Chains A and B, each alone.
Chain A
Amino acid sequence: MRLLNRSAGRVSRLRRGPLAGLLVLLLGLMFTGALYSAFTPAQAEKASKSDDELIQEGRQLFLVGCSFCHGQNGEGITSQNGQYGPSLVGVGAASVDFQVGTGRMPMQQPGQQAATKDQAYSQDEVDALAAYVASLGPGPSIPDKAEYSLDNLSEDEQREAVVRGGQLFLTNCTACHNFDGSGGAMPEGKTAPSLKNTSDKHIYEAMLTGPQQMDVFSNGNIAPEDKAAIIAYLNSIEDNAGYGGFSLGGLGPVSEGMFAWILGIGGLVGFAYWIAAHSTRSEKTEHPEGTDA
């Protein structure tokens, strides 16, 4: 029951190329994107404000967006079934900048872990909120760039700091965030997020304030220059070439095993199938001398 005529299954020459659909899709997407950017209002001009004004503005924003969970004065609310917003007295500006700046706050619903979302407030508004919360009680303030970068060190010192940062990272951070900073699982459905798309400032703030289930790594615990070293290490491995090829998600041996099975064994079995498959047959009969067709 062999198919004698292979060409019978061949498709018409008029059929579109396989890339045509993709091209149409891409064009459509580009068009939509262009329209969107054309109609988005430009960023409002930044105006400097005094501290008091900032705190006042922050309070207004707070009352609208945050007080439902955190209370009118940031004192925190505990309800009977345990859903609450913690007190914000003393959490400091750094905490607000991290939580709101990464889109974790405002939360969509109370839960054990706040998910990162698109930022709901502009950076100006975040600053205002941070100023207001900082006014509630002393706490860590938003770090300057000088604190979380190594720019003021010499090149040799920077190199040493990166190495030290790597050791600190492997000792303090990889247990949850993985050796590549690609995140890991925590109990009961919680996760340690990936660090790959987090800004230096937010990483620094996270260490400083210990958001949600993360431990605090206060300045007494890991000195500011060591925190900067950790951040520098993370940036350096991000900047490194993929020395061994594509990283396969940086998840360790589990993803490697999947690739070995799917690509490796899958591909080789495919080759085996081809090797053992019957090749095309001819309808012609065998000529002892083989005449020209």
Chain B
Amino acid sequence: MSTESVATTNGKTAATAKKQGKGAKVVGWADDRLGLATVAKKNIRKIFPDHWSFMLGEIALWSFVVLLITGVFLTFWFKPSMGEIQYMGSYEQLKGVHMSEAMASTLDISFDVRGGLLMRQMHHWAAMLFIAAMLVHMARVFLTGAFRKPREVNWLIGGLLILLGIVEGFAGYSLPDDLLSGTGLRIAQGMMQATPVVGTYMSFFLFGGEFPGEIIIPRLYMIHILLVPALILALIGAHMLLLVYHKHTQWPGPGRTEENVVGFPMLPVYAAKAGGFFFIVFGMTALMGALMTINPVWKYGPYNPSQVTAGSQPDWYMGIAEGMLRIMPGWETHLWGLTLSWNVFIPGLMMPVVLLGLVLAWPFLEAWVTGDRREHHLLQRPREAPSRTAFLVAMMTLYGLLWAAGGNDVLAVLFHLNLNHITYFMRIGVFVIPVIVFFFVRRWCISLQRHDNEMLTHGYESGVINRSPEGGYSERHLPLSPDHAYRLTAGDRVKAIEESDAADANGVRGKGNTRRAKLSQALYGHDVDAPTAEEIEDGRRHLEHDLDHDDHHSADGHQYDGRHEVEGESLRGH
């Protein structure tokens, strides 16, 4: 392949070291002690490819930084105590009400600390964005096949980060000890208590006895501000180190190969773009915190185990567990004086683990089915791996359905639907609809593959309609530009394993291999291969031939717009 035209420097000569300036002195002092120059020399100008979808993970990273900053502010005033006091702050409607110190200090932050409510709301919005951005980032990585070798470990780390993010979010949601957070804890406790065999023990240990007790908020506080953030921070560090070590993936395109990475250097362009994006994420959270009320604890009031409000929902990221809890039929088994609550155990504990496990295991499953053990640094477009894309869209559909099921009461009110009917619909829908979506999306991707092949071999539709002397109409096709054509062919498409190929090196056909080949056929057998060089060449010659016979006009459409001289003017005369 030709990569000669690939630039290797920024077009300017490297700056020669001038006289020992102040900067050099500082660098010298630091390097004498830290010896960082060797590492830094490679990384200061490290290349990052530029694409909007590569910045989704950054949203998550920067929201986490916003969480740390706003979180520190909140810890200065928040009192993680369930001791009962009488609220005497500025919020009139709760003045004199007995509540925990946690709730009272949350109200103080909201009403008696300048900027406190802003920080609280920014913290909450940033938390929502943090997890949402992680999911969007994960979807991007999945759809483009960026999780493939050598990046599987980073995929696992990412999955853990999402799990930890959710735990962290739930712990934070529970801290203010308002009506919603208490109701959420009550549900979590009920779910924990329903765990077979160890449920009661776990619940008693976590809550220090019966629900709610007086120790859960101090414990969650420690989990929320120390344990989980430390784990998240460590994993983010590992995630980023691996990203730097592996170098970022890139889209195939002219000059971009499996062996190189094309983009902008870390200093200055990438640092500026990433740094600028940090300020934008920070600013966006501040604006959201300023203008959009989130978690108005003063309206919920302090937690009271005998109060509840309509619209009692967890934050959105718990929505799927909530949805599963809601649509699960009331199944329970009573045997030998024991109770096994399928209605809580399956949706609350088993399914989240199964779903997360499935997504985390995907890179390994895919590598096994395709038999692909090579490294991949070029991304695939979603259409280039139809079964994979279809799987994710099916999972997203399931997620959406469960999310909707988790808000079925709100949907019922907003859209005048019957609450019970939504539940019945979802009970069937979560099984049926994702399957339909899977086959639909896969077919769609395959059609798009065909369309790409069509463009490569027959050119693109120029929008120019020709009328033949016989009166027939046809659309003129024009060849793709070399860059465009290259971009369409460069992505690799997964090939199904033929059953005859399934024998291992010694010619032994194991049962596993046959099964694998069958699965591979089922998943990838329908995919369309990219056209071969001959086919493309054929097509190109064919197109040129057509054009040659077309009065030697460059077919850009201008000759038909009525303002240009065209031979055979008489045709347009009347």
Contact = CB atoms under 8 A, between A and B. Distances in A.
A256 interface: yes
Contacts of A188: 418-420
Interface stretch (B128-136, B337-345, B521-529, B562-570): B128-136
B293 A247 contact: yes
Interface stretch (A48-56, A124-132, A174-182): A174-182
A192 interface: yes
A36 interface: no
Contacts of A247: 293, 296
A160 B96 contact: yes
Contact of B277 (A186, A233, A264, A272): A272
B202 interface: no
B281 A233 contact: no
Interface in B276-306: 276-277, 280-281, 284-285, 288-296, 298-301, 304, 306
Interface string B78-115: 00000000000000111111000000000000110000
Contacts of A251: 311, 410, 413
A189 B412 CA distance: 7
A166 B52 contact: no
Contact of B128 (A166, A170, A171, A264): A264
Contacts of B296: 180, 243-244, 247
Interface in B46-75: 50-56, 58-59
Contacts of B306: 171
A101 interface: no
Nearest to A194: B413
A167 B301 contact: yes
Contact of A254 (B59, B128, B316): B316
Nearest to A263: B288
Contacts of A254: 311, 313, 316, 319, 406-407, 410
Contact of A192 (B53, B110, B310, B313): B310
Interface in B245-296: 273, 276-277, 280-281, 284-285, 288-296
B314 interface: yes
Nearest to A184: B310
B117 interface: yes
Nearest to B419: A185
Contact of A275 (B93, B121, B128, B276): B276
A221 interface: no
A187 interface: yes
Interface string A151-186: 000000001101100110011001111111011111
Given A259-B292, A269-B136, A244 B121 contact: yes
Given A178-B310, A187-B419, A272-B52, A167 B292 contact: no
A111 interface: no
Nearest to B121: A244
B56 A174 contact: no
Contact of A175 (B300, B309, B313): B309
A266 B317 CA distance: 17
A256 B315 contact: yes
A236 to B, nearest CB: 6
Given A188-B420, A269-B136, A255 B129 contact: no
A68 interface: no
B311 A268 contact: no
A179 B307 CA distance: 10
Contacts, number: 210
A178 B308 CA distance: 9
B180 interface: yes
B438 interface: no
B111 A243 contact: yes
B93 A236 contact: yes
B484 interface: yes
Contacts of B406: 254
Contact of A264 (B273, B288, B295): B288
B416 interface: yes
Contacts of B355: none
Contacts of B280: 268, 271
Contacts of B474: none
A187 B56 CA distance: 41
B466 interface: no
Contacts of A242: 293
B484 to A, nearest CB: 6
Interface string B118-134: 00010001001100110
Nearest to A183: B413
A264 B311 contact: no
Given A174-B307, A189-B418, A243-B293, A257 B128 contact: yes
Contacts of A178: 309-311
Contacts of A269: 52, 56, 59, 136
A245 interface: yes
B308 A174 contact: yes
A63 interface: no
Contacts of B317: 257
Contacts of A240: 93
Interface in B166-208: 179-180
A101 to B, nearest CB: 23
Contacts of A39: none
A267 interface: yes
A268 B420 CA distance: 37
B132 A264 contact: yes
A171 B309 CA distance: 9
Contacts of A31: none
B121 A245 contact: yes
B284 A268 contact: yes
B284 A267 contact: yes
A131 B481 CA distance: 85
Contacts of A258: 316
A230 B412 CA distance: 26
A138 interface: no
A233 B129 contact: no
Contacts of A26: none
Nearest to A260: B128
Contacts of B313: 252-254
Interface of A: 1, 159-160, 162-163, 166-167, 170-171, 174-180, 182-189, 191-192, 233, 236-237, 240, 242-248, 250-261, 263-265, 267-269, 271-273, 275-277
21 contacts: A163-B96, A166-B301, A171-B307, A174-B308, A180-B299, A185-B419, A187-B419, A243-B293, A243-B296, A244-B110, A245-B290, A245-B291, A251-B413, A254-B313, A256-B295, A263-B288, A268-B129, A269-B59, A275-B52, A275-B276, A276-B273
For the complex of A and B, the 10 pairs showing the least CB-CB separation, nearest first, are A257-B316, A184-B310, A189-B418, A244-B293, A260-B128, A252-B311, A185-B409, A185-B412, A272-B55, A174-B309
Given A163-B97, A250-B299, 10 more contacts: A159-B92, A170-B307, A183-B310, A233-B93, A242-B293, A243-B296, A245-B289, A257-B316, A272-B53, A275-B52
Interface of B: 50-56, 58-59, 92-97, 110-111, 117, 121, 125, 128-129, 132-133, 136, 179-180, 273, 276-277, 280-281, 284-285, 288-296, 298-301, 304, 306-317, 319, 406-410, 412-413, 416-421, 481, 483-484
